[in-house]
Structure 1
Amino acid sequence: MPAMKPTNSLTRWILIGLFAGLAVGWAINSNVPADQAKAIAGYLSIITDVFLRLIKMIIAPLVLATLTVGIAHMGSGGAVGRTFVRTLAWFIAASIFSLGLGILMVNLLSPGVGVGLALPAVDAASGVATKTFDLKEFIGHIFPKSIIEAMATNEVLQIVVFSLFAGVALIQMGARAEPINKGLDAIMHMMLVITGYVMKVAPFAVFAAIASSIAVEGLGILWTFGKFVGGFYLALAVLWAFLLGAGAVVLGVGEVKRLIPTIREPFLITFATASSEAAYPKLLDALERYGVPTRIASFVLPLGYSFNLDGSMMYCAFASIFIAQAYGIDLSLGQEIAMLGLLMITSKGIAGVPRASLVVIAATLPYFNIPEAGLLLILAVDHFLDMGRSATNVIGNAVATAVIAKWDAAEAPAPVPVPVPLTAKEVASGGQG
């Protein structure tokens, strides 16, 4: 697939939008009454909402076309199966590590101990809808009853399942599948052109997202929750180091150094908008520019957006134990291990739910007798933390995709050498040079 050209100017405008949003948001918060600031923030958020809706418009057809064509080009069901197993194994290992690191860091930093904030009453309503994990519902939800419904609601995991069936079916059809492959390839290119149009809105969306958040909350909220916010971002920095380090083990240090600037734009877009989805098309393009084959990028990335949310999983563990610390609840090692296992499952069960991390935390707290009202402690800064955890999801999925591509290339069959015809002299001498 011809990739969109890298645009350093887009990165520059995104950074300008980010800092301008900080300045304008601070000015509104400092000089405008709270009710008016909230109204202004509401108007500003229209720009961000439009941008995110445009991104959602792209995702379903882009995932369906790229993943189906990518699988069809793998050439055999066995190749699909091997890639799927490797991808899932990497995701599970990354998930366990992210959750374990979150639990370790929150215990080392103890941001909830002596937090110095008025604790909500244990029976106060958090305002976050709880959703207990139901294995039957989870498994049933994976499989689409209608691909049209799945695309209409942007159920990425269901689109992935349909695309797996469709791609393998196209492999079996052989030459008869060629017209469908060409049609899907054309759709894929069309969606990438549309992505280029949509990305022109990104700097404005970044500006509006930052300005509206700061206008309402102010920069002071970050000082009030400084220990929690700072501790979490320190934990994220450690996670970034380990993810990139794991990538360096497989890819090599030089390749990771080349990967980092390649994913800079999707990272910034995600960080500023606090939405992993916002960067999906741009991340797909960036990985292909890096050198990941289309069939691998279009296979691994959609799965990653459902199963490889490293930053979100770390946040669930970190925030859950932070709330326990704030209420003076000591969790045993066994309970923390049980929490890791529970979060490992529930974080997969509600992928795609708005503010999914809060819903996962709300579902987890009752299992360990931690007041759900503790969510009220973190709601004020959740958006600022969502920026970091969403951007971390981009790093995790980029590294995973590059690693799977390296493994796939290592197993690719070596080209069959083409015999060079002997010269007349070599023939006469019996083939001796």
Structure 2
Amino acid sequence: MVKRLTFWIIAALVVGLIIGTIFNLTIHDQNWIEYLVDRLSLLTLIFLRLIKMIIAPLVFATLVSGIAHMGNGKELGRIGLRTMCWFIGASLLSLAMGLILVNLLRPGTGLNLVPPVSAAPVAPAADFSLKDFISHMVPQSMVDAMAHNEILQIVIFSVFFGLGLGSQGKKAAPLLKGVEALSAVMLKVTNYVMYFAPLAVFAAVTSVITQRGIGVVLTYGYFIGSFYLGLAVMWGLILLVTRLLVGKGVLNILPLLRSPALIAFTTSSSEASLPPTLEALEKFGVPPRIAGFVLPLGYSFNLDGTMIYCTFATMFIAQSYNIHVPIGQQIMMLLMLMITSKGMAGVPRASLVVIASTLSFMQIPEGGLWLILAVDHFLDMGRSATNVIGNAAASLVIAHWEGELKIPDKREVEKIQSA
């Protein structure tokens, strides 16, 4: 199934590029373009809604059954500490990588734009409040958390519920079996939902190219190319570190991650790839309780692609206005982004909100957000796929540190792909 899905997603991407370009060149009435894009967006919207429909019960069932089998809070605490240590290290590496490359490549140099006297920000520069962030992590109601797909709140409740379930032994055995059955059913439902992925990919790509045209990619070619070079370097570092920590066979997982990464890339949604990534990790030998714990946390605390983008885009805007940012201020920006980015989980267009607040802090014109808004979708595609690889690597490393990763060989992976 994995190979077939990958083929159809790539085919949908290519067809979407071709048809989107034809529409952009032949349809000159803006009203017709808006009408067409609005109708196409329905397919993508339905797919993303289907994904959101399964995330809450899937995360809850997988995490609760895993924690209940841990038996005590000591193991959970150890896994949690190791996970957060990895996330902090990966975030610092991602932010630093973006900062180093944007200073070396300088994609904004030469634009020589004049800073606007006043310009309204594209996104509200929300102030970061540690108190609000921490209080938001704790759910007032599990029903409300599931209704709004607040993954972090679902994780918090699932941890308590799983510990309580595990402490009851035989008394709670029927309930535990029910939760395990729910997990198996939700993974099957995930397979059904994935059949809609190629349609969503076609609609998303066609819509963007119809509106923007393929020319927008060429206009911002050096900026986009520089950013994707940074993502490629980050992929290499992630895979190298994972290979060094876990062992040679760990890279056999890449064929299984192809579909989740493509789904994230073509839909520009890390969230859309969570269920198939979880399934791929479990097939590869990562225990469900570890994958079910690390992955949901990763989508709040370990967005490697988004981290690179925040430093890269901020410095690109500064370079475009010929604003010199001293190295000391850049380091301050890096530390600030390290904190503020963690408080933006679940915010629509979160990276733009984070960048807007950073521009304000560094006294760079917030109107510069318009420079990246035109190509934000194309950049979001790459950073979403990078987030998938980063979180999958985190799950593999944590499972290895726990001594519970059974790595299949290439033949076994091929059997899994064709199943």
Matches within 5 A, 1:104-143: 104-115=100-111, 121-143=116-138
AA partner of residue 17 (structure 1):
A
For 2:115 and 2:207, how far apart are their aligned partners in 1?
A: 26
What whole-Å deviation, never above 9, does each CA across 1:37-62 have from its counterpart, x for those lacking one?
A: 23211211110011001100110111
Which residue of the other structure, out of 201, 208, 214, is the alignment partner of 1:206?
201
Normalising by the residue count of structure 2, what TM-score does the alignment of the two structures yield? 0.94
1:9 aligns with 2:34: no
For 1:252 and 1:219, how far apart are their aligned partners in 2?
A: 41
Deviation (angstroms), 1:27: 0.5
Which residue of the other structure, out of 162, 166, 182, is the alignment partner of 1:171?
166
Partner of 2:373: 379
Deviation (angstroms), 1:127: 2.8
Which residue of the other structure, out of 303, 326, 331, is the alignment partner of 1:309?
303
Which residue of the other structure, out of 284, 287, 294, is the alignment partner of 1:293?
287
1:41 aligns with 2:37: yes
Deviation (angstroms), 1:244: 0.5
Deviation (angstroms), 1:175: 1.8
Partner of 1:263: 257
Which residue of the other structure, out of 131, 142, 149, is the alignment partner of 1:147?
142
Deviation (angstroms), 1:402: 0.6
Instruction: Give the % identical residues.
Output: 55
1:51 aligns with 2:29: no
Shift in alpha-carbon separation, 1:383–1:174, aligned structure 2, 3 A: same
For 1:329 and 1:307, how far apart are their aligned partners in 2?
A: 31
What whole-Å deviation, never above 9, does each CA across 1:106-155 have from its counterpart, x for those lacking one?
A: 00010111126x66725222331221101111111111111111111111
AA partner of residue 239 (structure 2):
L
Contact 2:62 2:288 survives alignment (8 Å): yes
AA partner of residue 262 (structure 1):
L
SS at match of 1:73: helix
Shift in alpha-carbon separation, 1:305–1:292, aligned structure 2, 3 A: same
What whole-Å deviation, never above 9, does each CA across 1:14-49 have from its counterpart, x for those lacking one?
A: 111010000010000011015122321121111001
For 2:175 and 2:114, how far apart are their aligned partners in 1?
A: 59
What whole-Å deviation, never above 9, does each CA across 1:177-204 have from its counterpart, x for those lacking one?
A: 2122112112212212221211111000
AA partner of residue 100 (structure 2):
L
User: Which structure is larger by alpha-carbon Rg, 1 or 2?
Assistant: 1
Pairwise CA RMSD of aligned residues? 1.5
Contact 2:287 2:404 survives alignment (8 Å): no
Partner of 1:72: 68
For 1:339 and 1:331, how far apart are their aligned partners in 2?
A: 10
AA partner of residue 98 (structure 2):
G
Partner of 2:88: 92
Contact 1:120 1:376 survives alignment (8 Å): no
1:81 aligns with 2:77: yes
Which residue of the other structure, out of 337, 359, 362, is the alignment partner of 2:356?
362
For 1:187 and 1:287, how far apart are their aligned partners in 2?
A: 18
Partner of 1:323: 317
Contact 2:396 2:405 survives alignment (8 Å): no
For 1:34 and 1:405, how far apart are their aligned partners in 2?
A: 55
SS at match of 1:263: helix
Contact 1:122 1:372 survives alignment (8 Å): no
Contact 2:286 2:405 survives alignment (8 Å): no
Which residue of the other structure, out of 371, 381, 396, is the alignment partner of 1:402?
396
Unpaired stretches in structure 1, ≥5 consecutive residues? 1-5, 413-433
AA partner of residue 48 (structure 2):
L
